[in-house]
Amino acid sequence: MVRGLQEPRFDTAPTPRGYTTKHAELALEFASGYHLIPDPWQANVVRSWLRKGKDGLWCASTWAVSVPRQNGKNGGLEIVELYLMVALELKILHTSHLLGSARKAFKRLMHFFGTQKNDPQAKYPELNALVKEVRKTNGQEAIELYNGGLIELGARTGGAGRGSSFDVLVIDEAQEYEEDEQEALEPTISASPSGDPVTIYMGTPPREISERGAPFMKVRNGAITGEDKRVAWVEHSAVGDVDSMTEADLKLFVADRKHWAESNPALGRRITQRTIEGEHSRWSPRSFARERLNMWPEPASLESAIPKKAWDARRLAEVPEDWPLAAFGLDMNPERTAITLAAAAWAPDGVHVELVDTDDNDVRFDEMLSEQIVEWLWKRCKRRIPVVLDAYTPARSLEPLLKKRKMKVFVLGPAELSQACGGLYDAVTKDRSMTHFGQEHLDVSIAGAVKEKFGKGGAWKWNRRDFSVDLTPTMAATCAHFGAVKFGRRPTVNDDDEQSSSEGEVEVF
């Protein structure tokens, strides 16, 4: 019988000189008095989270646990919530993605405190005696204690906690947590009554890299790479890089029961081997890796791919107006609310790239219709100047309209995108053949761009360091630069092509 390992793969709890786990031991002892006996791995979560420094403040301001479903992550949280409410008199806002999940947590807490004030059926009368109110309003359940301790529970979509102040914010089902929810919820602990706010994240890997789950991935990246020193991150997962595996390699990997034990500490306790065998036979290898082995995308390096010193060295104070236009690059944000254009021009010793200034001449691409954008490009490109975009950008919605005009449109697949990213990187850091104009949006985007490997070999593409980075300027500049180098044609003195001055020179966009 395979049994789950109790030691986590990652445990990043801060260990400053003189720190204490006194509160963790008291919390475990308190919970045991109410028959809440943790597994060893759950006790480890409590000890990682409840650490205080010599200054009396929590060592970590963010506590997190990631473990596959049904392993019992809520068991450790219940120990912590009980102790924080009863012993430390703190106020907790417990949120879930789904209302049903919040209700389940509320029912578990009523098991300890009772279903109402002065509940004659309360299992633990001494805890029920602390209860000032049990609120069962649909979607806004709460238990308030006479000592000031409080827990409110609700779904994030239902506006949980708005207008109130708390000491602890719990983000359950964090793989579904989005930035707009984060913006609404985190201010609820900004004015923490205790002066020492904490955010708790609990969940599994997001299904895909997108806005959903972005805050959770950012916390993990900061913890795993060591960039964020105030995160107590505990993770049980299989040791391996799912992104670098072929489908055949992944199929063999997920069949290895050693990896089942690495990622499921409750295996042989509350999860049976037979249950996992059934999941393995029904799920795809990639789904099994994510859902049962808790395998995350490898965290991107938090260092910028292009060093600031190298980028700044390629900045020009001004650009001559007679440099011929070479190519345009396009990208669009995922929400499809704004398009970013970059223009490449032929410089004497290389290629110059800059973003199109959308504020000049009353041109705003976040307000223009597709037909207007195409018309704007047609006036400047005709059938001579290449227009380049990534195969996976939402800007591909413009492709049919551009091709209808018989313009030179090039869509970069994975191999060419890797070449384009590497080409821009080399042009800045090695060849020093690319220049730019020092535009803030492009500068900030480049500073937030990191390398993300894909496929086999050394292929890589741009990714953003975190979800606050707007990568569209970097992608547009990359496409424009590649369009000039790969698809453009540098004009010669005896060029017989007929072109207007508006086609042959860089305009002040």
Residues 409-464: tens digit of each pLDDT: 999 999 999 999 999 999 999 999 999 999 999 999 999 998 887 766 678 899 88
Report d(CA 235, CA 110) in Å as an integer.
28
Tokens for 338?
């704004």
Residue 353 scores a pLDDT above 80: yes
Nearest to 474 by CA among 342, 348, 381, 314: 342
Span 383-409, average pLDDT: 93
Inside any domain, residue 119 = yes
pLDDT value at residue 172? 96
Averaged pLDDT for residues 79-100: 95
Could you say which of 217, 236, 255 is where a domain stops?
A: 236
- pLDDT confidence band for 41 (50 / 70 / 90): very high
427/347 same-domain check: yes
* Segments forming the whole domain that contains residue 260: 245-299
Q: Specify the pLDDT at position 502.
A: 40
**pLDDT higher than threshold 50 for residue 362:** no
| Statement to judge: residues 145 and 200 lie in one domain | yes
Q: How far apart are CA 387 and CA 103, in angstroms?
A: 53
3 inside domain? no
- Residue 461 identity (one-letter amino acid): K
Does residue 188 belong to any structural domain of this protein? yes
Strand, coil or helix: what is 36?
coil
Average pLDDT over residues 350-360: 81
| pLDDT of residue 346 exceeding 70 | yes
Q: Report the alpha-carbon distance of residue 292 to residue 370 in Å, rounded.
A: 44
DSSP 339-391: EEEEEEEEETTEEEEEE--TTGGG--TTTS-HHHHHHHHHHHHTTTS-EEEET
Tell me, yes or no, whether 386 lies in a domain: yes
Return the pLDDT at 333.
Answer: 83
490 in the same domain as 373: yes
> Would the pLDDT of 497 be above 60?
no
- Which band of pLDDT confidence, cut at 50, 70 and 90, is reported for residue 301? low
In a domain, 402, yes or no: yes
CB burial of residue 369 (10 Å; 0-12, 13-18, 19+): exposed
Mean pLDDT of 29-53: 96
The pLDDT value given to residue 508: 34
Say if residue 491 is in the same domain as residue 401: yes
Share of the chain above pLDDT 70, in %: 90
pLDDT in tens, 213-251: 889 988 998 898 788 899 999 999 999 888 778 889 999
CA distance 233 to 67: 11
Give the residue from 467, 462, 394 showing the smallest Cα distance to 212: 467
Residues 260 and 221 in one domain: no
Find out whether 352 and 321 touch, Cβ atoms under 8 Å.
Answer: no
As a whole number, mean pLDDT of residues 301-328 equals 88
For residues 218 and 255, state if they share a domain.
no
Q: Whose CA is closest to 145, among 103, 117, 115?
A: 117
Same domain, 380 and 258: no
Backbone angles phi, psi at 248, to 5 degrees: -65, -45
Q: Are residues 249 and 105 in the same domain?
A: no
* 5 assigned to some structural domain: no
How high is the pLDDT of residue 213?
86
Asked if residue 370 has pLDDT above 90, the reply is no
| Distance of alpha carbon 43 from alpha carbon 28, whole angstroms | 7
- Are 114 and 230 in the same domain? yes
**Per-residue model confidence as pLDDT tens digits over 152-185:** 999 987 565 566 899 999 999 999 998 889 988 9
Which pLDDT score is estimated for 463?
85
184, 212, 236: which is the final residue of a domain? 236
CATH of the domain at 134: 3.40.50.300
Map tokens 């413009």 to a residue: 398
User: How far apart are the C-alpha atoms of 221 and 294, rounded to whole Å?
Assistant: 15
Q: Is the pLDDT of residue 302 over 90?
A: no
Residues 87 and 174 in one domain: yes
1: in domain: no
Mark whether 374 and 456 lie in a shared domain: yes
In this prediction, residue 299 carries a pLDDT of 60
Residues 266-272, mean pLDDT to the nearest whole number? 93
Asked whether 236 and 66 are in contact (CB, 8 A), the reply is: yes
Q: Check whether residue 60 and residue 188 sit in a common domain.
A: yes
Domain count, the chain: 3
Residue 395 domain flag? yes
